[in-house]
């Protein structure tokens, strides 16, 4: 293949984002190193550095210690563990891959959640000598919580049990019991030796009883296209483009569904209707747009739409409301304070929000529910949230893009928690609302100042501080 042909073929490849979970002992870094190495991604000088480092600080004896490749930071190298999410890139002739490499220790649930949020597929590693352990359950639960559609169970270190089929079959059986319980449908299991390379890039001769593909071949071919939601059009307006008086465009990324020129659309929350006049990009106009394209939409009618609002089809509306129940993962060192008002960011919308009810916490090791009390770092559970502004959302299970949000601490600005929405709740039942009210006549403010107050209130709303004004 000449270089032009190579580049032309390369251009057509799609992208698979994958998450790897497992502990240092499971050989996770070795497996990733092997995928990178055997797909020829490592350059010679990286290899030379690796050999040098392996001799100095490695844990792999005479082998090259692939784990050293992945541990980027000095502090971690000293501790001998990976402490955060690291991203790796490699490509084969069929596909490009982004690996989010995350650690397996319990206190680092938050890192795995971080690394997995955009993943199409998760590789869960187990050591075949220990099989499905608490950590495996935890990882699998987190993967199901994130809604990752495809799971690979990598049963590693098969060389240490002489590639015994019985060992593999027993682990697979245990694991399927777990994934059935969690309702995960697409699970594929591989008998591997990452250290020796068995069934990683090529089928191993040492597992004649295994009929499936090698891991890399599977990763190259697993269909991921249908995982996106092409049904429910959701377009969170990100930026209003007004280069001149004749052009008013609404820029954003299509969160889900497909929109076409001429479609009737409705803007939320105003419920004003119009038709799509054009779909504009730098490279020319499009006839239709789909996720995850970033485009600019213009409408036939002059409707006032701002960032944080949403354009949808009138016959397919999201949930519209301020009160919902959700799974929440606590990501902050500081424990949850239910008396606090947070900033909630959902798509392009930011608002004040409160946690108004704690339903339960999940023990990630046993998957049992525990009584709801304020969450500590890495705790997961179900809570109810009330927002100041109206949100336009879907259940996370139905729509990953419009069902996810983050909670930001208003004092430290840390991302304190992340949520996956379950379903909307009734607002009328709420006794204590969180929106402050300005009763202008009561405060003795003359109507001359109403316009200025409206401007200030709109600006505060843009920043997530909703205020109700009574005139």
Partner 1 sequence: MNNYHLSHLQELEAESIHIIREVAAEFENPVMLYSIGKDSSVMVRLAEKAFAPGKVPFPLMHIDSKWKFREMIEFRDSYAKQHGWNLIVESNMEAFNAGVGPFTHGSKVHTDLMKTKALLDALNKYKFDAAFGGARRDEEKSRAKERIFSFRDQFQQWDPKNQRPELWDIYNARIHKGESIRVFPLSNWTELDIWQYIRLENIPIVPLYYAKERPCVEIDGNLIMADDDRLPEQYRPLIKPRMVRFRTLGCWPLTGAVESNATTIEEIVEEMMTTTKSERTTRVIDFDQEASMEQKKREGYF
Q: Which of the residues 290 through 329 are near partner 1 (CB under 8 A)?
A: 290-294, 296, 307
- Residues in contact with partner 1, counted by CB under 8 A, come to a total of 79
CB of 329 to partner 1, least distance (A): 9
Interaction between residue 221 and partner 1 (CB under 8 A)? no
**Phi, psi (rounded to 5 degrees) for 40:** 65, 30
CB of 301 to partner 1, least distance (A): 20
The count of other CB atoms within 10 Å of the CB of residue 455 is 10
The SS3 assignment for 16 reads strand
Contact 150, 121 (CB under 8 A): yes
Reading the block at residue 463, the tokens are: 């920043």
CB of 114 to partner 1, least distance (A): 5
CB of 61 to partner 1, least distance (A): 23
Whole-angstrom distance, CA of residue 169 vs CA of residue 164: 9
Site for partner 1 in 111-150 (CB under 8 A): 111, 113-114, 117-118
Which is closer to partner 1, CB of 114 or CB of 156? Answer: 114
The answer, yes or no, to whether the previous bond of 359 is cis (omega within 30 of 0) is no
Between CA 35 and CA 24, with CA 138 as vertex, the angle to 5 degrees is 40
Beta carbons within 8 Å of 456's beta carbon, 6+ residues apart: none
Which is closer to partner 1, CB of 161 or CB of 395? Answer: 395
Which is closer to partner 1, CB of 285 or CB of 368? Answer: 285
Site for partner 1 in 35-64 (CB under 8 A): 43-46
Beta carbons within 8 Å of 441's beta carbon, 6+ residues apart: 470, 471
**Applying CB under 8 A, which of residues 38, 84, 174, 263 lies at the interface with partner 1?**
84
Stretch that binds partner 1, among 136-144, 201-209, 346-354, 434-442 (CB under 8 A): 346-354
What number of H helices and E strands is found in the chain? 11, 25
**Applying CB under 8 A, which of residues 280, 297, 358, 391 lies at the interface with partner 1?**
280
Whole-angstrom distance, CA of residue 389 vs CA of residue 460: 11
Stretch that binds partner 1, among 148-156, 280-288, 379-387, 423-431 (CB under 8 A): 280-288
Interaction between residue 7 and partner 1 (CB under 8 A)? yes
CB of 83 to partner 1, least distance (A): 7
Interaction between residue 359 and partner 1 (CB under 8 A)? no
Contact 373, 355 (CB under 8 A): no
CB of 66 to partner 1, least distance (A): 13
Stretch 164-203: interaction string toward partner 1, x if CB under 8 A: ----------------------------------------
Contact 122, 143 (CB under 8 A): yes
Whole-angstrom distance, CA of residue 62 vs CA of residue 178: 37
Interaction between residue 341 and partner 1 (CB under 8 A)? no
CB of 87 to partner 1, least distance (A): 5
Whole-angstrom distance, CA of residue 173 vs CA of residue 160: 20
Stretch that binds partner 1, among 241-249, 267-275, 310-318, 446-454 (CB under 8 A): 241-249
Which is closer to partner 1, CB of 158 or CB of 297? Answer: 297
Stretch that binds partner 1, among 25-33, 106-114, 186-194, 449-457 (CB under 8 A): 106-114
Whole-angstrom distance, CA of residue 348 vs CA of residue 240: 12
CB of 48 to partner 1, least distance (A): 9
Stretch that binds partner 1, among 148-156, 200-208, 248-256, 432-440 (CB under 8 A): 248-256
The SS3 assignment for 115 reads helix
Give me the torsion for CA of 210, 215, 221, 223, rounded to 10°.
90
Contact 380, 330 (CB under 8 A): yes
Which is closer to partner 1, CB of 247 or CB of 450? Answer: 247
CB of 79 to partner 1, least distance (A): 11
- DSSP 8-state class, residue 316: B
Stretch 416-445: interaction string toward partner 1, x if CB under 8 A: --x---------------------------
Question: Tokens 């106009």 — which residue?
Answer: 285
Contact 415, 331 (CB under 8 A): yes
Quote the distance between the C-alpha of residue 99 and its chain's center. Answer: 13
Reading the block at residue 467, the tokens are: 């205020």
CB of 374 to partner 1, least distance (A): 19
**SS3 labels along 398-416:** CCCCCCEEEEECCCCCCEE
Interaction between residue 270 and partner 1 (CB under 8 A)? no
Interaction between residue 281 and partner 1 (CB under 8 A)? yes
Which is closer to partner 1, CB of 39 or CB of 170? Answer: 39
């Amino acid at each position: 293949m000449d270089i032009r042909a190579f580049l032309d073929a390369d251009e057509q490849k799609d992208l698979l984002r994958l998450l790897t979970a497992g502990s240092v002992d499971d050989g996770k870094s070795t497996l990733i190193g092997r995928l990178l190495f055997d797909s020829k991604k490592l350059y010679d000088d990286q290899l030379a550095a690796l050999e040098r480092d392996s001799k100095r600080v490695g844990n792999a004896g005479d082998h090259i210690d692939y784990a050293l490749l992945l541990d980027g930071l000095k502090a971690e190298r000293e501790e001998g563990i990976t402490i955060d999410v690291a991203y790796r890139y490699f490509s084969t002739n069929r596909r490009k891959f982004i690996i989010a490499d995350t650690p397996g220790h319990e206190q680092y649930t938050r890192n795995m959640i971080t690394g997995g949020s955009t993943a199409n597929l998760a590789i869960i590693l187990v050591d075949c000598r220990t099989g499905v352990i608490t950590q495996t359950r935890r990882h699998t639960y987190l993967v199901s919580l994130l809604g990752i559609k495809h799971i690979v169970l990598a049963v590693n270190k098969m060389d240490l049990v002489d590639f015994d089929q019985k060992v593999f079959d027993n682990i697979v059986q245990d694991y399927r019991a777990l994934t059935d319980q969690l309702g995960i449908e697409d699970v594929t299991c591989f008998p591997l030796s990452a250290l020796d390379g068995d069934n990683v890039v090529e089928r191993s001769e040492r597992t004649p009883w295994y009929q499936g593909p090698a891991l890399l071949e599977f990763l190259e071919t697993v269909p991921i296209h249908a995982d996106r939601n092409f049904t429910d059009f959701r377009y969170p307006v990100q930026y209003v483009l007004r280069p001149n008086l004749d052009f008013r465009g609404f820029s954003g990324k299509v969160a889900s569904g497909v929109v076409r020129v001429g479609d009737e659309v409705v803007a939320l929350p105003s419920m004003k209707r119009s038709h799509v006049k054009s779909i504009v990009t730098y490279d020319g106009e499009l006839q239709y747009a789909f996720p995850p394209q970033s485009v600019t939409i213009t409408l036939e009618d002059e409707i006032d739409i701002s960032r944080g609002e949403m354009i949808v089809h009138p016959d397919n509306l999201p949930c519209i409301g301020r009160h919902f129940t959700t799974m929440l993962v606590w990501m902050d060192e500081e424990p949850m304070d239910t008396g606090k008002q947070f900033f909630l960011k959902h798509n392009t919308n930011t608002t004040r929000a409160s946690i108004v009810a704690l339903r339960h916490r999940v023990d990630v090791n046993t998957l049992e529910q525990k009584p709801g009390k304020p969450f500590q770092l890495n705790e997961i559970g179900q809570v109810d949230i009330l927002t100041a502004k109206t949100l336009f959302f879907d259940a996370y299970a139905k729509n990953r893009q419009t069902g996810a949000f983050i909670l930001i601490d208003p004092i430290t600005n840390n991302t304190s928690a992340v949520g996956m929405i379950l379903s909307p709740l009734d607002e009328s039942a709420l006794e204590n609302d969180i929106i402050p009210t300005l009763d202008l006549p009561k405060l003795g403010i003359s109507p001359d100042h109403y316009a200025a107050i409206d401007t200030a209130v709109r600006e505060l709303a843009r920043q997530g501080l909703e205020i109700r004004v009574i005139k």
